[in-house]
Amino acid sequence: MTSVTAVPALAVRGATKRFGAVLALDGVDLEVHRGQVVALLGDNGAGKSTLIKCISGVHQLDDGVIEMDGLPTAIHSPAQARDLGIETVYQDLALFDNLGPAANFYAGREAAGPRWLPTWLRVLDRKGMASRTTELLDRLQVGLPDMSSQVGLLSGGQRQAVAVARAAAFASKVVILDEPTAALGLRESRRVLDLINRLRERDHAVIVISHALDHVMDIADRAVVLRRGRKVGEEVPTRENQQRIVSLIVGGEG
Amino acid sequence: MEQSTGASRDSGVTATPVEHGPETTGRSQRDGYRGLQLGLTVLRIGPLLILLAVAVALSFLSPFFLTTRNLGNVMAATAAIAVLSLGQLLVILTRGIDLSVGSTLALASVVGALVFTTVDSGPVVILAMLATGLLVGTVNGIVYVKGRLPHPFIITLAMLSIARGLALWLSGGQPIRGMPPVVDSIGGGSIGWFPVSAILILGIAFLVFVLTTRIVWGRWIYAVGGNPEAARRTGIPVNKVLISVYVLSGLMAGVAGIITAGRLDAGSPTFGELAELDSIAAVVIGGASFLGGRGNVLNALVGAVMIGVIRNGMNLLAVDAFFQLIIIGVVIVLAVEADVLRGHLEDRFRVFEAARS
């Protein structure tokens, strides 16, 4: 069922990015296949966020290529990344607290008609959006107390789940999660990790930035470690090599 | 046993289809949860409840209050504030403010009166007034967005001054008597005891209601108010949405100009003084939040009617006009406090939500 095919859903080869004199990324390689969760590790300033932002179209690479399903692809803007099937959940979640889950799911891409009207004048398909949102949340086993209440009334974990589910709903290829458990308690973290596992089962390619190594052990198939803009290691994270991964991150001799 | 009663009480109250994990919350927490939900619901429909309470109280205090003639008066007197507050609502939904609407109302009435002195056509006069409002609103929106101002307060404050100055200059500081019959009947006419202006307001309110709840554009207005940064990231045309609410607010000021000019059969540079504050007060009394993204058409109308009813009631009871200002000020403070209380209850609600899940 899980199709870890020969061609990765997303491959970054020789990614290089400079900000003035600072070399933020220096020839980094990264591959993610469908049905795979790859953790991106590294200390602050290691280049994780820069790499993510290059993939999601916020920054452009100075050198190197991004391949989608084996085809070299230039990503110039966040909108283009989304069109290519890459969705990113940033730490701030980018949720609209004053709106309900369905409105959040479809913000900026509302289902509406008729087609002969300009987009902004179309009539919202409120029932359609609500039922598809409910269906998707059910499929990902995200239980919300009330589908009509605003997202601002949800707990931190529920909000994270809504943001992740929204990304999964629209990402045909890659879901990128930036510190999905950083602000959550123990139980709520567990829920979000379960959710990430379900994304894998549903054949998404998932990239997760996380500082929580025990979470990484739980969910990631591979861990890519960056330090000062370079890739310094790639491991299958297990309890046994946790120490080694830590020393890769901090740069001690491991 | 304690657990099962807890669970059934919960599903009865909140209609929660999905329960996670073991039941850990106790009875007092359940009661707290239910209390929070009740409190939030009351706050949501609060403005309407208060308006009804005020109306019932006035109907006991004054035999004239509930007469059709008086109700018609209240509606006609409130119409201009009501239409301004509809525009103001859209602006406040996007975290903005439009201080220029009172002056724009006056400018529109003066322009209409001047046009009427040369062109004897009702439709042309009406179009001239609408165009005046539209133009002022467009300038507000474009200068705010394209000028990259940090907040619309300054540009609309400047426009408050500019539009009033233009109205005074164009009119020579004097009211200009005379409006076409169609304008007079929009502002001052009635069908039976029901004012034509009130019918117009209901029509416009319905359109704004449809815009804000059924149309993509309206959804974007709420999204921009709720989280401008996220709106930008999801590809919503934030700048266009922002400009559009000032354009609509200006247009509503033009409509308010028509209503006021028709009611008094004149255009005057002194119309609509402090009307911007009335419209902001109406929206705030209606429970909209200055932090953006919260508020709706019905409550904004309720806020406008509340101001009208309080003024009317105190006139009927022969309360000193000075006290009217004080009372309306107190109502505004109460409304804002209710908004603060709502924020507090919602914080508590989130904590419960985290504990329950």
pLDDT band of A211, cuts 50, 70, 90: confident
Query: What is the predicted pLDDT for the residue at B338?
Result: 84
Mean pLDDT of chain B: 89
From first CA to last CA, the distance across chain A in angstroms is 37
CA distance A154 to B209: 27
CA closest to B16 among chain A residues: A145
pLDDT at A154 exceeding the cut of 70: yes
Query: What is the predicted pLDDT for the residue at B340?
Result: 84
pLDDT at B355 exceeding the cut of 80: no
Q: Please give the helix or strand (H or E) that residue B46 lies within, else none.
A: helix B27-61
pLDDT band of B129, cuts 50, 70, 90: very high
Q: Please give the helix or strand (H or E) that residue A145 lies within, else none.
A: none
Quick check: helix, strand or coil at residue B198?
helix
| Residue B157 token pair | 């404050």
Map out the domains of chain B as residue ranges. Answer: 68-307
Mean pLDDT of B180-198: 95
Query: What is the predicted pLDDT for the residue at A61?
Result: 93
Mean pLDDT of B52-81: 93
pLDDT at B15 exceeding the cut of 80: no
How many percent of chain B have pLDDT more than 70? 92
Would you call A152 and B346 a contact, using CB atoms and an 8 Å cutoff?
yes
Chain B residues near residue A185 by CB distance under 8 angstroms: 354
Quick check: helix, strand or coil at residue A151?
helix
Q: Which residues pair with A207 in a beta bridge?
A: A38, A176
Question: Nearest CA of chain A to the CA of B12: how many Å?
Answer: 12
CA distance B204 to B215: 15
CA distance A73 to A254: 37
Q: Looking at chain B, how many residues does it have? A: 357
pLDDT at B326 exceeding the cut of 60: yes
CA closest to A95 among chain B residues: B230
Task: Provide the 8-state DSSP code for A152.
Answer: G
- Neighbouring residues of B179: CB distance < 8 A, sequence distance ≥ 6: B112, B113, B116, B125, B187, B261, B262, B265, B266, B267
* Chain B from 245 to 304: CB within 8 A of any A CB: 292-294
| Residue A93 token pair | 């979640």
Q: Which of A21-30, A147-156, B201-210 has the highest mean pLDDT?
A: B201-210
CA-to-CA separations, B282 to B73, B155, B236, B249, B343, in angstroms, rounded: 18, 22, 29, 14, 20
Would you call B20 and A126 a contact, using CB atoms and an 8 Å cutoff?
no
Q: Which residues pair with B264 in a beta bridge?
A: none
CB B259 within 8 A of CB B80: yes
Question: Each residue of A66-98: pLDDT tens digit?
Answer: 999 999 999 998 888 988 999 999 888 999 999
CA distance B311 to B331: 12
CA-CA-CA-CA torsion for A19, A21, A26, A30, nearest 10 degrees?
A: -10
Query: What is the predicted pLDDT for the residue at A114?
Result: 94
Q: Which residues pair with A19 in a beta bridge?
A: A22
Chain B residues near residue A108 by CB distance under 8 angstroms: 223, 231, 234-236
How high is the ipTM of this complex? 0.85
pLDDT band of B325, cuts 50, 70, 90: confident
Instruction: Judge whether B311 is closer than 8 Å to chain A, CB to CB.
Output: no
CA closest to B94 among chain A residues: A98
Query: What is the predicted pLDDT for the residue at A65?
Result: 94
Sign of CA dihedral B197, B199, B201, B207: negative
| Residue B344 token pair | 């507090």
Mean pLDDT of A195-224: 92
Which of A96, A123, A158 is the closest to B223 by Cβ? A96
Question: Nearest CA of chain B to the CA of A185: how many Å?
Answer: 9
Cα Rg, chain B, nearest whole Å: 23
Which of A78, A146, A191 is the closest to B14 by Cβ? A146
- CB pairs under 8 A, 24+ apart, for A239-245? A242/A213, A242/A217, A245/A41, A245/A213
Given the structure tokens 């890739």, which residue do they identify?
A: A231
Mean pLDDT of chain A: 90
CB A86 within 8 A of CB A52: no
CA distance B53 to A240: 70
Percent of chain A that is helix, strand, coil (3-state, to 5): 35, 25, 40
Question: Nearest CA of chain B to the CA of A73: how many Å?
Answer: 21
- Neighbouring residues of B330: CB distance < 8 A, sequence distance ≥ 6: none
pLDDT at B14 exceeding the cut of 80: no
| Residue B122 token pair | 């009702």
CB A151 within 8 A of CB B20: no
Mean pLDDT of A227-248: 89
Query: What is the predicted pLDDT for the residue at A254?
Result: 43
Question: Nearest CA of chain B to the CA of A97: how many Å?
Answer: 6
pLDDT at B357 exceeding the cut of 90: no
Would you call B231 and A154 a contact, using CB atoms and an 8 Å cutoff?
no
Query: What is the predicted pLDDT for the residue at A253?
Result: 52
Question: Each residue of B69-122: pLDDT tens digit?
Answer: 999 999 999 999 999 999 999 999 999 999 999 999 999 999 999 999 999 999
Question: Does the predicted model carry a pTM greater than 0.90?
Answer: no
Query: What is the predicted pLDDT for the residue at B256?
Result: 98
**Can you give the three-state secondary structure of B221-277, one letter per residue?**
HHHHHHCHHHHHHCCCCHHHHHHHHHHHHHHHHHHHHHHHHHHHCEECCCCCCCHHH
Quick check: helix, strand or coil at residue A125?
coil
| CA–centroid distance for A45 within its chain | 19
pLDDT at A122 exceeding the cut of 80: yes
Query: What is the predicted pLDDT for the residue at B194?
Result: 95
Question: Each residue of A25-67: pLDDT tens digit?
Answer: 999 999 999 999 999 999 988 999 999 999 999 899 999 999 9
Query: What is the predicted pLDDT for the residue at A5?
Result: 56
Amino acid at B297: V
| CA–centroid distance for B59 within its chain | 25
CA distance B240 to A238: 51
Instruction: Judge whether A250 is closer than 8 Å to chain B, CB to CB.
Output: no
Neighbours of B259 (CB within 10 A): 30
Angle between helices B68-93 and B297-316 (to 10 degrees): 140
Chain B residues near residue A121 by CB distance under 8 angstroms: 215-217
Q: Please give the helix or strand (H or E) that residue A222 lies within, else none.
A: strand A222-227
